[in-house]
Amino acid sequence: MSFRYIFNKMKNYITISDIKNLQQTISEALRLKKENTAAGLGRGKTLGMLFFNPSLRTRLSTEKAAKLLGMEVMMMNVDKDGWTLEFEDGAVMNSNKAEHIKDAAAVLSQYCDIIAVRAFPGLENRDKDEEDLVINSFKKYATVPVVNLESATGHPLQALTDALTITELQNVKRPKVVLTWAPHPRALPQSVPNSFVEVMQRMEVDLVITNPPGYDLNPAVRKNTEVTHNQDEALKNADFVYVKNWSSYESYGTILSEDKSWTFSEQKLKLTNNAKIMHCLPVRRNVVIDDAVLDSSNSVVIQQAKNRTFAAQAVLKMLLEEKRDF
Amino acid sequence: MSFRYIFNKMKNYITISDIKNLQQTISEALRLKKENTAAGLGRGKTLGMLFFNPSLRTRLSTEKAAKLLGMEVMMMNVDKDGWTLEFEDGAVMNSNKAEHIKDAAAVLSQYCDIIAVRAFPGLENRDKDEEDLVINSFKKYATVPVVNLESATGHPLQALTDALTITELQNVKRPKVVLTWAPHPRALPQSVPNSFVEVMQRMEVDLVITNPPGYDLNPAVRKNTEVTHNQDEALKNADFVYVKNWSSYESYGTILSEDKSWTFSEQKLKLTNNAKIMHCLPVRRNVVIDDAVLDSSNSVVIQQAKNRTFAAQAVLKMLLEEKRDF
Amino acid sequence: MSFRYIFNKMKNYITISDIKNLQQTISEALRLKKENTAAGLGRGKTLGMLFFNPSLRTRLSTEKAAKLLGMEVMMMNVDKDGWTLEFEDGAVMNSNKAEHIKDAAAVLSQYCDIIAVRAFPGLENRDKDEEDLVINSFKKYATVPVVNLESATGHPLQALTDALTITELQNVKRPKVVLTWAPHPRALPQSVPNSFVEVMQRMEVDLVITNPPGYDLNPAVRKNTEVTHNQDEALKNADFVYVKNWSSYESYGTILSEDKSWTFSEQKLKLTNNAKIMHCLPVRRNVVIDDAVLDSSNSVVIQQAKNRTFAAQAVLKMLLEEKRDF
């Protein structure tokens, strides 16, 4: 079966919506986890990984995924190792930006068969962040497939991992999945919860989002997903709880609350249906989730992290095959 | 045919003059571009790449070239990842320099089969920059071949790329090649124009250099190459125009002019014989070259960047073969 | 013969005492130096290398060793590329530390088959440094073998290299080996001398330590090894002299002396039995050891550096085999 049926668009993985057939992609990832059947597929191909921000799991799991496919990996901390990039079209480049994304993306496309990029939002200007300028510029100017390693508005490799992990662990046909906000000392992006909501909306699950007032996610992402401001109510009968902080979308990029009563504790766990507890990591222990929960057998955060490799491998595999077939 | 006939000196690629037979080297690079016939040559060999300055094209294209030959690549941002190096012979090392180049180069030679180094000039002291201390210290103390990834005075991998690109694209037997200065907000090295002039002097081309007064390149490099301060005059009938900024050699390292009339524009392009426009990148758009030119079909800057891989591969291949034969 | 007889503990290389059969391990390293008989052993396995501090030899020699075994290597400058780590158990993570070592080590164990870590001491609080918190936290929380790339209190890869080098070069059955302190402008860790003393105590050598008053090493390391404050006396009849600075253990982390009479000079060399001069590098020339000695044929510092590869290869090989067998 051709992979044109898996990807909507030919050649990028920018949002979860770039996957057309989600169940098939999840199955592919689980197959690769069981047995690496594509070890030679990437031979002679190169993955370029570009970081504008720190990374541990994404960096190492994607590098590992590429190598499991036989690809070479070239890694750059863009602003530290390379040149400061200009993203504005038509800019007169007489200030501190040394290279235009137009040229950088075109050049990288000469050396790499797939380009993967991480670039966080500034969290100061909502309109600007929603343009998702860095990843979309690479998409626009690169002539090879582009993979999102977490952009201003989404983290689709994490979301695919999360879908994979729930699929692996669910023991009812239609589990209740709760995404709950939790406090955090710093203002964080909405990219992880955005992509999680998007992928869950395509799964056979009952999804509930719970967060304090003022923390409702982008309506264009939420759509008709139920949102409640009563965390305890939301947690009832939950089979999976995804705990995650994000900064306000309405009062864009600000911290409206550090309310400790939203920290995910043993007491909160007891409200659930013995739920599996998920988090994308890194997690602030005893602020976002208590040690007692993270160190309990209900926590699946390490298994989630392991699955990053296979989600990335499935995506890279499909991009490589796409290239071959078309 | 033995490669002793290609390289003048046994085992380094420090300046373009280290290539004895330029045409043969260009042909080799073009052959490798068409088909990677040397994929196993570097197996079990290691390229060490050392950066004292930022790099994108040089870093990735050389890494890729090495991997196309089957080599392993070890990469270091020297001053960030390693120890601050002392270059002065006989120094009493009681200040902030932790390791002498003598030892660093000898040690790296234990782990690497070829060492490649990037180290820009300070642009403050001409005599000091002309010693080209970093690359020449590696040459002196390393016991394996040393490759110049751009030094204080030259960028021979770029120059070989440029010769390659002109060879590929020329449609007259003896094209007119113009190297023109252009404005830039920062003081840049003369390394790229130096090596370009050196390589063009060995090609079957009519080379003209044009720059404002005070910007004449080192006379030892220029030799008898024609220099004019009238850009429009120089551009007439040009088949190739290499646009590049450099800081003054005479008033060493300073910016004497930011004259916008030297920016390479559509109007300038019209003066030429529908010339191919070259630049080593990164390029300051609308300062060095206008968008209208860079985004036109006359621009070959991306093709140039692609050719970096094959120039590097030809050089590494010859160094590997040199090692084997002697 | 099973490698359970070489390693005391199953799966780490944290201190030299993790090697049970030192002679066998040295022989293995020397065999690997002569011929790489284990080029396929690490295929499909990944070494993760984590740096909290600069490194040149350790970084490159260990990377090379892993690749000689066919392993993939993933490299991170932890605090620069990744997240700032929290090491305190039970911490409420509401300050600047983004990820707990518990989670980082568990996650890295999902991507790597062996984890190697470099983390220097702070040299401010002796009790804290002696906990060797970073390496021991990885040991505690990782589920794969952990290798010490130099920790607060030891540098066992260097020590194994040193044992290897002495074994290679000794021409008497029981050489006299002198470890001598030398001056240095900065306060350095005791990790190298500690591990050197530990490994020499297990070799058939006469070991003497010489240092100024106030610089005696940790009594728990020294044990019954002879210590003299008279350098000239100590050097008499020495077959090997290991020159190294360290900061005071008693007045912890301080510089008590920069006495130039302790610099290892040609005059000092003449006091020995034409000794081989060793140093782990990087070395401050003309402060720790004079040029005249380092550039003489008595110096074996480059050969030592070369042996780092084979010591690392022997350790990694044994850890890989351990994993396979049990």
Across all residues in chain A, what is the average pLDDT?
94
pLDDT for A303 beyond 90? yes
Question: In this model, does residue C195 exceed pLDDT 50?
Answer: yes
Q: Is residue C10 predicted with pLDDT exceeding 90?
A: no
pLDDT tens for each residue of A74-129: 998 887 777 889 999 999 999 889 999 999 999 999 999 999 999 999 999 999 99
Confidence class for position A183, pLDDT limits 50, 70, 90 = very high
Distance (Å, rounded) from C-alpha A147 to C-alpha A117?
Answer: 6
Q: Which residues of chain B are within 8 Å of residue C305 when distances are taken between CB atoms?
A: 106-107, 110
Q: How far apart are CA A74 and CA A67, in angstroms?
A: 11
Nearest to C82 among A55, A305, A306 (CB): A55
Cβ contact, residue pair C55, B82, below 8 Å: yes
Mean pLDDT over A215-239 rounds to 98
Q: Decide if pLDDT at C4 tops 90.
A: no
Q: Is the pLDDT of residue C326 over 80?
A: no
Chain C residue numbers touching B94 (CB-CB < 8 A): 185, 284, 287
Q: Which residues of B touch C (CB under 8 A)?
A: 46, 48, 72, 74, 76, 80-83, 86, 90-95, 98-100, 102-104, 106-108, 110-112
Contact B284 A98 (CB under 8 A): yes
Judge: B309–A110 Cβ closer than 8 Å, yes or no.
Answer: yes
Determine the Cα–Cα distance for residues A306 and C103; give it in Å rounded to an integer. Answer: 12
From A48, A82, A110, residue closest to B302, measured CB to CB: A110
Q: Write out chain B residues lying below 8 Å of A88, CB-based.
A: none
Please tell me the predicted confidence (pLDDT) of residue C11. 83
Cα separations in angstroms, A160 against A154, A164, C103, C111:
12, 6, 21, 18
d(CA B262, CA B274): 18
Identify the pLDDT of residue A214: 98
State the Cα–Cα distance between residues B316 and B300, nearest whole angstrom.
25
Average of pLDDT values for C77-104?
90
Q: How far apart are CA B257 and CA B259, in angstroms?
A: 5
Residue C292 has pLDDT above 70, yes or no: yes
Superfamily of domain C3-154+307-325 in the CATH hierarchy? Aspartate/ornithine carbamoyltransferase (3.40.50.1370)
- Collect all residues of chain A within an 8 Å Cβ-Cβ radius of residue B295: 102
Q: What is the DSSP string of B25-38?
A: HHHHHHHHHH--TT
pLDDT digits (tens, 9 = 90+) for C123-140: 999 999 999 999 999 999
C64 vs B111: CB contact, 8 Å cut-off? yes
Mutate to test the interface with C, among A33, A285, A287 (most CBs of C within 10 A): A285
Cα radius of gyration (chain C): 20
The DSSP output letter for C261 is: G
Torsion angle of alpha carbons C317, C323, C325, C326, nearest 10°?
150
| Interface test with chain C among A59, A265, A284, by most C beta carbons within 10 Å | A284
Residues above pLDDT 70, as percent of chain C: 96
Q: How far is C18 from chain A (nearest CA, A)?
A: 28
Minimum distance, in Å, between the CA of residue B64 and any CA atom of chain C: 17
- CA Rg, chain B, in Å? 20
- The minimum CA-CA distance between C75 and chain A, rounded to whole Å, is 9
Rg (CA), chain A: 20
Verify whether the Cβ–Cβ distance B95 to C185 is below 8 Å: yes
Is C76's CB within 8 Å of A67's CB?
no
Cβ proximity of A284 and A307 under 8 Å: no
pLDDT at B11: 83
Query: What rounded mean pLDDT belongs to chain C?
Result: 94
Domain formed by A3-154+308-325, architecture: 3-Layer(aba) Sandwich (3.40)
Chain C residues with a Cβ under 8 Å from any Cβ in chain A: 46, 48, 72, 74, 76, 80-83, 86, 90-95, 98-100, 102-104, 106-108, 110-112
CA B170 to each of CA A26, B165, B167, B176, B277: distance values in angstroms, whole numbers, following the listed order: 51, 8, 6, 10, 12
Q: How many CB pairs under 8 A join A and C?
A: 84
Do C60 and B106 count as a contact with CB atoms less than 8 A apart?
no
pLDDT value of residue C325? 32
**What is the ipTM metric for this complex?**
0.93
CA neighbours closer than 13 Å in the CB half-sphere of residue A33 = 22
A98 vs B contacts (CB less than 8 Å): 282, 284
Residue ranges covered by each domain of chain B: 3-154+308-325, 156-305
Interface chains of chain C (3 or more CB pairs under 8 Å): A, B
Cβ-based contacts under 8 A for chains B and C? 84
Confidence of residue C149 (pLDDT cuts 50, 70, 90): very high
pLDDT of residue C54 exceeding 90: no
CB contact under 8 A, B287 and A98: no
**Cβ neighbours of residue B214 closer than 8 Å, sequence gap 6 or more:** B248, B250, B251, B256, B257
Q: Do C294 and B103 touch (CB under 8 A)?
A: yes
The Cβ of residue A214 has, within 10 Å, a number of other Cβ atoms equal to: 13
Instruction: From chain A, pick out residues whose CB is under 8 angstroms from the CB of C99.
Output: 56, 281-283
pLDDT of residue C81: 78
C81 and A309: CB-CB below 8 Å?
A: no
Q: Using the structure block, give the residue that is written with the tokens 């003209």.
A: B208
Rounded CA-CA distance A89/A101 in Å is 9
Q: Do B286 and A46 touch (CB under 8 A)?
A: no
Does the global pTM surpass 0.90? yes
Q: Report pLDDT for A98.
A: 92
Per residue in A19-64, pLDDT (tens digit) is 999 999 999 999 999 999 999 999 999 999 999 998 899 999 999 9
Residue A321 has pLDDT above 70, yes or no: yes
What is the CATH number assigned to the segment(s) A156-305?
A: 3.40.50.1370
List of chains touching A (3+ CB pairs within 8 A) = B, C
d(Cα A183, Cα A243) in Å, to the nearest integer?
A: 10
Closest alpha carbon to A245 in A222, A279, A290, A272: A279
The pLDDT value given to residue A77: 87
Report the alpha-carbon distance of residue C290 to residue C264 in Å, rounded.
6
Give the count of Cβ contacts less than 8 A between chain A and B.
Answer: 84
- Under an 8 A CB cutoff, do A59 and C82 touch? yes
Closest by Cβ to A81, choosing from B55, B185, B309: B55
The percentage of residues in chain A with a pLDDT greater than 90, rounded to a whole number, is 90
Residues on chain A bordering chain B, Cβ-to-Cβ distance under 8 angstroms: 46, 48, 72, 74, 76, 80-83, 86, 90-95, 98-100, 102-104, 106-108, 110-112
Maximum separation of any 2 CA atoms in chain C, in Å:
60
The one-digit pLDDT tens for each residue of chain B (326 residues) are: 344 444 444 489 999 999 999 999 999 999 999 999 999 999 999 999 999 998 999 999 999 999 999 999 999 888 777 788 999 999 999 988 999 999 999 999 999 999 999 999 999 999 999 999 999 999 999 999 999 999 999 999 999 999 999 999 999 999 999 999 999 999 999 999 999 999 999 999 999 999 999 999 999 999 999 999 999 999 999 999 999 999 999 999 999 999 999 999 999 999 999 999 999 999 999 999 999 999 999 999 999 999 999 999 999 999 999 743 33
Of the given ranges (C80-89, C149-158, C280-289), which has the lowest mean pLDDT? C80-89
User: What tokens does A77 get?
Assistant: 């901390």
pLDDT in the model for residue B322: 75
Phi, psi of C207 (to 5 degrees): -100, 130
Only one residue has tokens 């870093």, namely: B59
Of C46, C48, C110, the CB nearest to A302: C110
On chain C, the residues whose CB falls within 8 A of the CB of A61 are 110-111
pLDDT band at C2 (very low <50, low <70, confident <90, very high): very low
